[in-house]
Amino acid sequence: MHTNDLADASPDFAMLYAQFSSALSFSEIPRSVIAAAKLNIFDTLACSIAGFKAPGVQEVLDIVRDWGGKPEAEVLWTGLQVPAPHAAWINGIMAHACDYDDTHDKAILHGGISVVPAALAAVGVASHKVTGKEFYAAVVTGLELICRLGVATRIGLIQAGFIYSGLFAHFAAAAAAARVLRLPPKETLNAIGIAYSQAAGTHQVTRDGALTKRMQPGFGARSGLTAVAMARKGLTGAQRIFEGQDGLGRTYLQSELDSDVLREGLGRRWHLEDLAYKPYPCCRMNHCAIDAALQLRAQPGFDWTRVSEIRVYTNAQGNQAVGQHLEANTVVQAQFSIRYNIACALVHGAVGLSDFTSEALSRPEVRSLAARVTPLVAEDIERSAGRNVTPARVEAVIGDKVFTAQVDEAKGGLQKPMSGDDLRRKLEDCLSFGGFDSRRASAFDAAIERLEDSDDIAVDIRQMIGGILNR
């Protein structure tokens, strides 16, 4: 059932979710869901370390410093305290800047980069000590909402013109912050409704290779904090937020938001458990192609220096998302260039954070090979996975021989999860790239382990930051 079928029905899913999230207690959350939230917190904060010195982050940090204001919430990895909406904003930007963060392969979005920064910022304005268990409940609340919205959306991001990580971030951040602050259902609903008045997240930033691509989830986190502050003062927002006549479903998603999927199994089926974690710091639509390229590289007789042509087949959505940046002249373009990522994989046998710097983009051997890659749409892949993160088939021509590899599910997902060693290497890579000592990875791991049992999450987060800064 699509949203327009419920235009005059009651209640809106937003009301149901406000009631659900306000009442959700840690003890009611299955251990597997807590484990999923823990992994998300780990990965989101690790990615924020890598993003600390990424283009755009220090510039925003300069803006926030210039603005000043009440010291409410921590800017990660700085020791700086700023007003909560500002902290949520810059921490969200930091977590997404390297495009290394989580992804929901069915919903086509990132979750933690708006939810975790919003929950952390809300801790700074709470009038009570927020325990680790309350913090976990808030993160679960936000992650489940953003994932449900994504799974229930039946229109692709290319057709809609929105990046769902940025668009749905506003609602998820508001829900997470409201749960931290123990808002009752009415105020939680108003917060989500106020967030709706701020919601945006265009796909055009990807097409243009703009730095604001990495900032949109942070905007969502910031608006969530603004929304809960307003709701706490008694201000009202839209009530029929998702399914109303002018709700999200019709006005943003062309009436392709499935109300049945939104509601199905709420409190029993946890979509946040399906979040995947990235082994490569680039758009998830590239990942199957990278894995396929690495398989090609390992085939007997393959020599990338002799390749005359490479064809990469994806679904239409993948082709639009990562097949259009023929020249990777900026880091954002490179993150969204299937040609560039295949070339990196074939030339170096890996794709990592060091491949996404202005210096790396000029490497002649990578640029030369990338120019030989032709992105194409495969009808069979479109039929089987038209709405999902795209599978990829890569064909490389050497003389009269064609080397072929196809990958249908990228590493890091449910079928091919990252191992503990993979996650540790990723954390160490993030620390080094962010300018920190990779030997502090053990202290970071230990701090994450302690969060669930924390009596005061604000104190433990400050200690975690101090551990990374070695102070």
Give per-residue pLDDT as tens, 311-330.
Answer: 999 999 999 999 987 778 99
Q: pLDDT band for 8, please (50, 70, 90 cuts).
A: low
3-state secondary structure of 211: helix
Which amino acid is it at 193? G
At 279 the pLDDT is 97
Average pLDDT on 406-433 reads 94
Q: What is the pLDDT of residue 9?
A: 57
The count of other CB atoms within 10 Å of the CB of residue 23 is 12
Structure tokens at 194: 């106020």
The residues that bridge with 166 in the sheet, in sequence order, are none
Place of tokens 């990278």: 290
Q: In sequence order, what are the beta bridge partners of 373?
A: 310
- Across residues 440-456, what is the average pLDDT? 96
Q: Which of 271, 327, 308, 291 is nearest to 396 (CA)?
A: 308
State residue 24 phi and psi, 5-degree precision. -65, 125
CB contact set of 386 (below 8 Å; sequence gap of 6+): 156, 315, 316, 317
Question: CB count, 10 Å around CB of 300?
Answer: 5
Please compute the mean of the pLDDT values over residues 348-361 and round it to a whole number: 95
Question: Which of helix, strand or coil describes residue 86?
Answer: helix
Q: Which residues contact 234 (CB under 8 A, 6 or more apart)?
A: none
Instruction: Write out the two tokens for 118.
Output: 């919003």
* Residue 366 contacts residue 339 (beta carbons within 8 Å): no
Q: Residue 6's pLDDT is what?
A: 46
| Maximum CA extent, the chain | 72
Domain 3-274: assigned CATH number = 1.10.4100.10
Token duo for residue 339: 């040609």
Question: What are the pLDDT digits (tens) for 170-180?
Answer: 999 999 999 99
Q: Determine phi and psi for 111, rounding to 5 degrees.
A: -110, -50
* Structure tokens given for 108: 């086509």
pLDDT confidence band for 471 (50 / 70 / 90): low
Q: Are domains 3-274 and 284-407 of this chain identical in fold? A: no
Task: Give the pLDDT confidence of 205-219 residue by residue, as tens digits.
Answer: 988 889 999 999 999
Helices (H), 124-266: 132-152, 157-160, 164-167, 169-180, 185-196, 204-207, 216-232, 248-251, 259-263
The DSSP result for 349-395, as a single string, is S---GGGSSTTGGG-HHHHHHHTTEEEEE-HHHHHHHSSSSPPEEEE
pLDDT band at 387 (very low <50, low <70, confident <90, very high): confident
Kindly report the backbone phi and psi dihedral angles of residue 406, in degrees, each rounded to the nearest multiple of 5, phi listed first. -130, 135
Q: Quick one: tokens of 197? A: 């008045």
Helices (H) and strands (E) in the chain, counts: 23, 6
When pLDDT is averaged across residues 52-67 and rounded to a whole number, the result is: 94
Helical (H) or strand (E) element with 279: none
Mean pLDDT score of the chain, rounded to an integer?
95
Any idea where the domains of the chain sit in the sequence? 3-274, 284-407
3-class secondary-structure state, position 247: coil
pLDDT average, residue stretch 83-102: 97
Whether 1 shows a pLDDT value over 90: the answer reads no
What CATH class has 284-407?
alpha beta
- Which residue type is seen at 366? V
